[in-house]
Structure 1
Amino acid sequence: MTNSLFIMVIMFLFGNMIFVSKHKHLLIVLMSLEFMVLSIFFLMMMYLMMIGYSMYMLMAFLVFSVCEGALGLSILVSMIRTHGNDYFQSFNLI
């Protein structure tokens, strides 16, 4: 149990490091966010199974993570349609 907990924490830290360091492309940032959501999902699943709680909270978490992923993909598609790529340097906020 502690070995899998350690692996999930390492997964979250790797996703966080990629999120902080690779900010050139929007797609890489979105994939690192989804990787962090996946590790948090596994951590919550392990915790809820350990304390014997029902898994309805996981279903709500999955719904919010799917909405977050769909929103990120729609931003990516609209950015590619307007600017032609997903570089943050070509995206001017002013």
Structure 2
Amino acid sequence: MLIDLFIFCFMYISGLFSFLLKYKHFLFLLLSLEFMILSLYYGLFMFLSLMGYEYFFMMLFLILSVSEGVLGLGILVLMIRSHGNDYLMSFSFLW
């Protein structure tokens, strides 16, 4: 059980560090967010299986995380079509 908690914490912290350090491309940000969601799903699975609960909440979590991913990919496609790249520093959000 302790090794599972260590794996969960390591996955989440490495996803958080990659989110904070790879901020130049929007696609890298989306991938690190999805990795953090995957680690949260793993932690939720460990918690629910340890407590003996049902897994219905995990299905709701998966639905919300997939919709978050689809929204991020839609924004990425919109950025590439309007600006030609996914660099976050190449355009201004003010206009």
Shorter chain as denominator, the TM-score bin is over 0.9
Question: For residue 38 of structure 1, what is the amino acid of its counterpart?
Answer: L
Q: Equivalences for 1:76-87 in 2 at 5 Å?
A: 76-87=76-87
Shift of residue 91, structure 1, vs aligned partner: 2.4
CA distance in 2, matches of 1:81, 1:90: 14
| Overall identity of the aligned pairs, in % | 49
Uncovered stretches (5+) of structure 2, i.e. residues with no partner:
none
Question: Deviation string for 1:14-62 (max 9, x for gaps)?
Answer: 0000111110000000000000000000000000000000000000000
Question: How well do the aligned residues superpose, as a CA RMSD in angstroms?
Answer: 0.6
Q: TM-score, normalised by structure 1?
A: 0.97
The alignment of Structure 1 onto Structure 2 pairs a total of residues equal to 94
* Superposed structure 1 runs of 4+ greater than 2 Å apart: none
Per the alignment, residue 35 of structure 1 pairs with 35
Q: TM-score, normalised by structure 2?
A: 0.96
CA distance in 2, matches of 1:59, 1:43: 14
Uncovered stretches (5+) of structure 1, i.e. residues with no partner:
none
